[in-house]
């Protein structure tokens, strides 16, 4: 299901043909049940190496699902502090190849010089944002300057509605059962934009990139993720300018401390009819809808 917010193009023209790297693949499997075995085709999610290159120098290699890669590159670049905004990316080109995909970006020279000072190489695990960090100094980064979390309240019923609807906005999950999603939800509980990936960090970077490109105001709603809430997920939400992060699973202790310091309302274990608020719970309003009273048709 596509997003409902228009997205502005980045410099560099049209995105590469994603048919070169499909988001899923068909494989032969042996399905075993209590009294039967059957050879079948099954659809599984794809991962490919995606290299992010700035001004001709490779900075990071991530394993990602090959969809919405311009969004991914922009979201990663801003949430990781490589650039401050999309205007500092002067050109972006997605280049598919046999071994993977290279995303070539030309960034403002002051940003490139700063990047070289803290250059790192990320490689390997699915959406692991801290893999390969050369110094512990960069593992726990200061909160982004100049980005204050919105102090807007969020209604319990809006969170509950979005949680109930999220699966319907995940076509890749419906096909493969293996994708994470990151969604932007407005104050009424309507899901406005979703991005999917095999990696939870990647899905959030894709969402952030799409929101930056659409010039969408991040303070009037919340981010919903289909995963746990790690420290780095909170950092990315802060960079996005959102004021609340809702996760269907648990947060880490470091994520809670970071959210507390950043003014982020952090909610975990968000399931139909239940949730747990970990910090800034005073911004939650209203009561949980009774069974059978959840709103319908909000999409």
Query: Which tokens hold the place of 184?
Result: 């932007």
Q: Are 243 and 222 in contact (CB under 8 A)?
A: yes
Is 3 part of the annotated catalytic residue set? Answer: no
Q: Say which residues have a Cβ less than 8 Å from residue 142's Cβ, sequence separation at least 6.
A: none
Q: List the structure tokens of 5.
A: 């917010």
Q: Which ranges of 38-153 would DSSP assign to H, the alpha helix?
A: 69-79, 109-117, 136-139
Which residue among the candidates 3, 128, 131, 279 is catalytic per the annotation? 128
Which two tokens mark 105?
A: 């970006």
Beta bridge partners of 41: 28
* CB atoms inside a 10 Å sphere around CB 49: 16
d(CA 70, CA 180): 18
Triad 25, 184, 123: Cα angle to 5°:
50
Put the strands of the sheet holding 89-96 in their side by side order: 57-64, 48-54, 101-107, 89-96
Pairing type for strands 244-247 and 24-33 reads: unpaired
Give the DSSP H or E segment for 207. Answer: helix 200-214
Residues annotated as catalytic are 128
């Amino acid at each position: 299901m596509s997003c409902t917010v228009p997205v502005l193009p980045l410099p560099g023209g049209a995105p590469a043909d994603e048919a070169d790297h499909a988001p899923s693949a068909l494989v032969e499997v042996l399905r075993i049940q209590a009294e039967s075995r059957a050879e079948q085709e099954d659809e599984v999610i794809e991962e490919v190496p995606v290299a992010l290159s700035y001004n001709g120098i490779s900075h990071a290699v991530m394993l990602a699902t090959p969809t919405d890669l311009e969004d991914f590159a922009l979201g990663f670049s801003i949430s990781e502090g490589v650039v401050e905004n999309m205007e500092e990316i002067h050109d972006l080109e997605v280049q598919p190849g046999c071994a993977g995909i290279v995303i070539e970006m030309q960034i403002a020279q002051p940003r490139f010089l700063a990047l070289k000072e803290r250059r790192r190489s990320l490689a390997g695990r699915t959406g692991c944002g801290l893999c390969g960090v050369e110094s512990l100094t960069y593992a726990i980064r200061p909160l982004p300057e100049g980005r204050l979390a919105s102090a807007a309240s969020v209604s319990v019923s809006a969170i509950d509605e979005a949680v109930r609807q999220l699966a319907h906005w995940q076509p890749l999950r419906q096909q493969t059962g293996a994708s994470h999603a990151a969604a932007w939800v407005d104050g009424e509980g309507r899901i406005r934009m979703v991005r999917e990936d095999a990696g939870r960090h990647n899905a959030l970077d894709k969402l952030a990139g799409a929101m930056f490109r659409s010039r969408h105001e991040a303070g009037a709603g919340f981010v919903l993720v289909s995963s746990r809430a790690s420290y780095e997920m909170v950092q990315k939400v802060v960079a996005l300018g959102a004021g609340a992060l809702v996760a269907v699973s648990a947060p880490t202790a470091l994520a809670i401390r970071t959210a507390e310091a950043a003014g982020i309302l952090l909610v975990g274990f968000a399931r139909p009819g239940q949730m747990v608020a970990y910090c800034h719970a005073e911004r939650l309003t209203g009561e949980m809808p009774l069974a059978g009273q959840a709103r319908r048709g909000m999409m």
